[in-house]
Amino acid sequence: MELLPVLDGIHSAETFHPAFLDAFFERVAQLESHPEEFEDALKGKVIATVFEEPSTRTRLSFEAAALRLGAGVITVADAGSTSRAKGESLSDSAKVLGGYADLLVWRHSKDGASRLAAQSTGVPVVNAGDGRLGHPTQTLVDLHTMRKEWGTFEGKVVGILGDLRHGRTARSLTWGLAASGASILLLPGPGLAWEGGLEERILSRFDYRRRPVSHALIPGWTGSSEAWLLEPRSFIQGQLFQGGPSEISSLDALYLTRLQEERGARQERGSYPGVNPARMEDPLLSKCLLLHPLPRRGELPESLDGDPRMRCFNQARFGPVVRQAIFLALLREDAWPLPAVTPMPAGEVEHGLGPCPNPNCITLEEGIPSPWRVVGKRPRSFLCAFCDSSLPAEYVGCLSTRRVHPLHSASAEKIRAENLKPFLAREQAEVAGFAWGG
Ligand code: NCD
């Protein structure tokens, strides 16, 4: 399977791992303590910021970061003013802009847009938010904010509250927190949980487990009496589980998110979860930092701005320095080597699984087949290589034995990743020349 080149950009928080994060945040600390040493680090470089969705903090903090390093900036703040409005494909735009700039920062409404742009151009691409899928640089900002408070994530419990289903910051942060060793309390608003698959991938990648927990505040947030905690197995070794939920006594941080109405999210008036001064009196939240990627709505009221636990403006302030470190990692690898992020497979295009089932996938807009990548072994899943949606494979063929097996079978598990060929139906595999292997 072809792999995207190492550090060809930052597309997904799924590519972060502990060694990368440790080294990255050391660099951020260097930038914070000696900003003057980096003033000309990117002199002569051009950075393009292409924002096809509204943005205040993300675009301007990327641009401030570029200017602080001596780079020039060209920008698209409104896609309606570009050839994209005349129907130009994302891949054509990326090809063209890669000839004008040394690095592209791209925000797009479709899931997987950043990976597609990176495959179309020869320069690094940084995902500044793609649809509901990811916002990995916001995750680096969020993690930096918490690391500055705690130094380590060991033993810390972070709640993520609100629109998990459509919110890209929540999705990326969950990966980032798991890569950092924190426990994560998932608090989706009613009907706003994410689809299956994401948590399973996190559990198997980081050796985490899922445990139900309860607290009197939880029903008012999620509409259900219990919530799920994702936690490192090592952290809970020796504890006995009766199967039922146990009471959670304290949260170290709560990450609030707004309802993503532009992605079709709807909620009955007054039922969207948040905090207020009275709720903040609860012992669960006594030392709980309040984070929010902003913009906020009623879920984090201004009446809490003077609260000593409030951190959302710290996050916003850290945007430029974190993004300076990203630019240096990608454009000055000579001076700023970092451990490579885990490469994202570019995926295999050949399969009979049909189009990506996610209506917001970039492959549907671009009219291209959805390449698959494979994750896990037991169970093995096939995902769209651009938007990570599950592709509905039921059978899997082996390219070396030319036999086809049910996906969930011992024989299928034995097939090496490079020999896999997924199918929707057994007949389809037989037409393609695979014999039934049972
Ligand atoms: C977020 C985004 O655009 O995904 N904002 C940001 O980047 N600071 C969150 C949001 O819009 O709700």
How many beta carbons lie within 10 A of that of residue 425, not counting itself? 12
Cβ(291)–Cβ(254) below 8 Å = yes
Q: Is the beta carbon of 294 within 6 A of some atom in ligand 1?
A: yes
Q: Is the beta carbon of 57 within 6 A of some atom in ligand 1?
A: yes
Q: Which amino acid is at 318?
A: F
Per-domain residue ranges of the chain: 9-134+317-331, 136-310, 362-436
Q: Determine the Cα–Cα distance for residues 119 and 9; give it in Å rounded to an integer.
A: 10
Q: Which residues of 24-59 are buried (b: 16+ CB within 10 A; e: fewer)?
A: bbebbeebeeeeeebeebbeebebbbbbbeebebbb
Q: Determine the Cα–Cα distance for residues 134 and 115; give it in Å rounded to an integer.
A: 11
Q: Is the beta carbon of 59 within 6 A of some atom in ligand 1?
A: no
Can you give the pLDDT of all 438 residues of the chain as single tens digits?
555 554 478 999 999 999 999 999 999 999 999 999 999 999 999 999 999 999 999 999 999 999 999 999 999 998 888 777 788 999 999 999 999 999 999 999 999 999 999 999 999 999 999 999 999 999 999 999 999 999 999 999 999 999 999 999 999 999 999 999 999 999 999 999 998 789 999 998 999 999 999 999 999 999 999 999 999 998 654 455 556 789 999 999 999 999 999 988 888 777 899 999 999 999 999 999 999 999 999 999 999 999 999 999 999 999 999 999 999 999 998 988 899 898 888 888 887 788 999 999 999 999 999 999 998 877 789 999 999 999 999 999 999 999 999 999 999 999 998 899 999 999 999 999 999 998
CATH class of 136-310: alpha beta
User: Is 136-310 in the same CATH topology as 9-134+317-331?
Assistant: yes
C-alpha 150 – ligand 1 centre gap (Å): 24
Q: Which atom of ligand 1 is nearest to the CA of 169?
A: 4
How many beta carbons lie within 10 A of that of residue 318, not counting itself? 21
C-alpha 168 – ligand 1 centre gap (Å): 8
C-alpha 136 – ligand 1 centre gap (Å): 11
Q: Determine the Cα–Cα distance for residues 113 and 107; give it in Å rounded to an integer.
A: 8
Is residue 169 left, alpha or beta, with left meaning phi > 0 and alpha meaning psi from -120 to 50?
alpha
Please give the structure tokens belonging to residue 162: 């609100």
Q: Tell me whether strands 381-384 and 372-375 are parallel, antiparallel or unpaired.
A: antiparallel
Please give the CATH number for the structural domain made up of 9-134+317-331.
3.40.50.1370
SS3 content of the chain, % helix, strand, coil (to 5): 35, 20, 45
SS3 185: strand
Of 52, 56, 138, which Cα lies nearest the Cα of 93? 52
C-alpha 297 – ligand 1 centre gap (Å): 12
Q: What pTM, to 2 d.p., does this model score?
A: 0.95
